[in-house]
Amino acid sequence: MDTKLAMHTKNLNFFYGDFQALFDVSLDFGANEVTALIGPSGCGKSTLLRCLNRMNDLIPETRSEGEIYFRDQPIHGQEVDPVEVRRQVGMVFQKPNPFPKTIYENIAWGARINGYRGDMDELVETSLKKCALWDEVKEKLKQNALGLSGGQQQRLCIARTIAVEPDVILMDEPTSALDPISTAKIEDLITELRKRYTIIIVTHNMQQAGRVSEKTAFFLNGVIIEAGLTSDIFFNPKEERTEAYISGRFG
Amino acid sequence: MSASYTGQKSYYGDGMAQNIARRRRHGRVWHILFYAATTISILALIVLLLNIFNAVFGFVLIEDEVPPTELAPGGDLESLSQGELISLLEEYLSVGLIRRFNFEEPLAERSVTDLAALVQVRIVNPTVIEAWSLQESLFQSDMIRAEHAAHPGTRVQFRSWLSARFLVSPQNPRPQLAGIRTAFFGSLWMIIIVIVVAFPIGVAAAIYLEEYARSEIWYNRIIEVNIYNLAGIPSIIFGLLGLAVFVRALEPFTSGTVFGGVDPTTANGRTIISAGLTLSLLILPIIIINSREAIKAVPSSLRESSYGLGATKWQTIWHHVLPASFDRILTGTILAISRAIGETAPLVVVGASTFITVDPKTLFSKFTTLPIQIYQWSARPQSQFRNVAAAAIVVLLVLMLSMNAVAIIMRNRISKQRRI
Ligand SMILES: Nc1ncnc2c1ncn2[C@@H]1O[C@H](COP(=O)(O)OP(=O)(O)OP(=O)(O)O)[C@@H](O)[C@H]1O
Ligand SMILES: [Mg+2]
């Protein structure tokens, strides 16, 4: 094992009631790497992502088997608090969902509830700067965040996530609702963020996976078909089905 | 089946234009029906309001027993001093009556206004011997003039049954002197008790059921079904419940005996607090249901974004779920409280007083409320009480409308802060 692992799963099975959405998923997510999860709609990418920060705990009648480790700690352990897991493993959702509060409060709230004791103005500014949003919003920090454009809202959501200093950021199709310019901005941002964070991103956009990720995992019906270096998956897939999906003949 | 302009076969046929015309005709029929339904409701409302206002204003024929000009210079009773008023009362009225007044509230402790009102009722004793509706007053002046001529020594006056005096006077056996002061305070107490008791309990229960209770557990489902059923139970049943529990079983508490300060005339459980708690029980299920719907309407994306930042359940509820649903919770609660203000049956069962003239001063006082008063007035044989009842209805409507207005204003304020 050359890189340090930020997270890994071992033989993870996941069930919505009687329906099994994930089968024996074992995946490694290297620290400070960007891993892309790809696969056709309904194959379980979001489900895996939501397992990684125990967001699925919120859905009644779900259950999982197997283990997920954050660093070397199992996150389903008896003594592990899901609230702590979610702070260390942040999440950005497919649809931008800022709080219906001011831009400032959107960043400050997460920090405050997690007991941040530093200078709040400074935290807001640096978080927004990291997400290349500061120049666009510095004049209107006290305005409602819902007044921002979709792309700006999504960057605000990323800023809000990094303000609580997670180790891992999960992104579920963060650009699917955005135009090419906003998408490019967010991709640049991901490239920038990987220096400090481990990023796991779900995307339907193959070019995007190719541009931003080092590792890629290809899913089909809840099963990992192939996982490895992005360049290998894209240019030397071992599996016929991977090649078919990537070249667009499938799925 | 025919060929379309592309030359391909189409199953839509050539009658496309007729088809659209038929669909539009169909839509127009519904449009007219909806319009008619709305018109009917508005007409009903207008008839109701006209009917009420028709009884509130109009000419009356008055006869005084002792003209006030004989008692005070210019007939202005309030210009007399407290002592002069008391001696007038003692001069004209029986000793027994004076003793009763002193028992209710010592005459020496009453204000000049109260005493003057007493003199007006007991000595001047003006009697409305005939009252006409607004419609009659406007269009049948001949009849009114004839009636006046038939009763020498009387005067005709245009009267608004709704007046400042009506608002501040207590109940009275004479229609022209009756007021709603006592009933208004009674209703105000009800509103306060219901807000203090039913609102927090209802919202808290809604939060528990919506956010904490796991609906797959059988007893939670039973609770849920029962709350929905409770909301549909006739209010008189709640009255019986209140009678059994608050008036009888909890009498030591609801009469105030365990807390000391008891009103000797009311040392039983038929008090404001019993009535308020009964009404609170009555609207609790409605508040719970409305609040649950409000909480349910909060989008899950909002909760997820909060949890995703490492918020606890309580932080999520307090900072996001409640603020996002508060405007709806508020509207639902106000509607429920409006229902409570308008309730009569359960309060009759719990034991609203039929005739009190003393303001309710504590939670353990006797009480009456606006709808009770309206109900009693409209049941009186003297026709003039119908005018009094109409005036009280206007007060009740204004009270409800202003509560709803407050709710709408608060709600708009809250939503403006949260939406663009
Ligand atoms: N809350 C749920 N309850 C029941 N089944 C669910 C739930 N969420 C997802 N599923 C099922 O689990 C499977 C995987 O869903 P998931 O959302 O993980 O797919 P996905 O790979 O993210 O798809 P997409 O690319 O369309 O977002 C699907 O078959 C879906 O129907
Ligand atoms: Mg998905």
Interface contact A110-B319, CB threshold 8 A? no
Q: Are residues B403 and B321 in the same domain?
A: yes
**Predicted pLDDT of residue A251:** 47
Burial class (CB in 10 A: 0-12, 13-18, 19+), B347: buried
Q: Which domains does chain A have, with CATH numbers?
A: 5-92+166-246 (3.40.50.300)
Q: Are residues B76 and B195 in the same domain?
A: no
In a domain, B201, yes or no: yes
pTM: predicted TM-score of the whole model, two decimal places: 0.82
Ligand 1 and A186: CB distance under 6 A? no
To the nearest whole angstrom, how far is the Cα of A130 from the nearest Cα of chain B? Answer: 18
Q: Are residues B300 and B409 in the same domain?
A: yes
Residue with tokens 């592309």: B6
Asked if residue B1 has pLDDT above 80, the reply is no
Asked if residue B413 has pLDDT above 80, the reply is yes
**How many domains does the structure of chain B reveal?**
2
Interface contact B309-A114, CB threshold 8 A? yes
Give the closest of A83, A91, A146 to B420, CB-based: A146
To the nearest whole angstrom, how far is the Cα of A99 from the nearest Cα of chain B? Answer: 7
How many other β-carbons are positioned within 10 Å of the β-carbon of residue A61? 10
B206, B288 contact by CB (below 8 A): yes
In a domain, B23, yes or no: no
pLDDT digit string (tens) for B43-54?
999 999 999 999
pLDDT digit string (tens) for B335-353?
899 989 989 889 988 887 7
**In which domain, by residue range, is B193 found?**
181-419
In a domain, B83, yes or no: yes
Asked if residue B104 has pLDDT above 90, the reply is no
Ligand 1 and A42: CB distance under 6 A? yes
* Mean predicted confidence (pLDDT) in B345-363: 81
pLDDT digit string (tens) for A55-66?
998 888 899 999
Ligand 1 and A44: CB distance under 6 A? yes
Burial class (CB in 10 A: 0-12, 13-18, 19+), B108: exposed
In a domain, B21, yes or no: no
Kindly give the distance from the C-alpha atom of residue B300 to the centroid of ligand 2, in angstroms, as a whole number: 15
In a domain, B34, yes or no: no
Taking the C-alpha atoms of residue B276 and residue B189, their distance in angstroms, rounded to an integer, is 8
Q: Are residues B135 and B223 in the same domain?
A: no
Protein residue with its CA nearest to atom 24 in ligand 1? A41
In a domain, B47, yes or no: no
Q: Where among B101, B134, B169 does a domain terminate?
A: B169
- pLDDT by residue for chain A (251 residues), tens only, comes to 446 888 999 999 999 999 999 999 999 999 999 999 999 999 999 999 999 999 998 888 899 999 999 988 899 877 889 999 999 999 999 889 999 999 999 999 999 999 999 999 999 999 999 888 899 999 999 999 999 998 899 999 999 999 999 999 999 998 887 888 888 888 998 998 888 899 999 999 988 999 999 999 999 999 999 999 999 998 988 988 888 888 876 54
pLDDT digit string (tens) for B200-221?
999 999 999 999 988 778 888 8
In a domain, B37, yes or no: no
User: Pocket of ligand 1, candidates A13, A19, A37: which has the most ligand atoms within 8 Å of its Cβ, to mutate?
Assistant: A19
Evaluated on CA atoms B2, B5, B7, B12, the torsion sign reads negative
Chain B interface includes A147 (CB < 8 A) = yes
Ligand 1 and A45: CB distance under 6 A? yes
Length of chain B: 420
Please report residues of B whose CB lies closer than 8 A to that of A113: 309-312, 315, 319
Asked if residue B279 has pLDDT above 90, the reply is yes
**Predicted pLDDT of residue B267:** 53
Closest CA to A200 of A20, A29, A19: A29
Please report residues of A whose CB lies closer than 8 A to that of B419: 100, 144, 146
CATH number for the domain including B276? 1.10.3720.10
In a domain, B9, yes or no: no
* Mean predicted confidence (pLDDT) in B148-171: 85
Interface list for chain B against chain A, based on CB atoms closer than 8 Å: 214-216, 301-312, 315, 319-320, 324, 418-420
Of A72-86, B3-17, B98-112, B308-322, minimum mean pLDDT range: B3-17
- Report the phi/psi class of residue A50: left, alpha or beta, with left for phi > 0 and alpha for psi in -120 to 50: alpha
Q: Are residues B209 and B325 in the same domain?
A: yes
Kindly give the distance from the C-alpha atom of residue A41 to the centroid of ligand 2, in angstroms, as a whole number: 7
**Predicted pLDDT of residue A123:** 94
How many other β-carbons are positioned within 10 Å of the β-carbon of residue B153? 7
Chain B interface includes A109 (CB < 8 A) = yes
Closest CA to B393 of B60, B160, B49: B49
To the nearest whole angstrom, how far is the Cα of A109 from the nearest Cα of chain B? Answer: 9
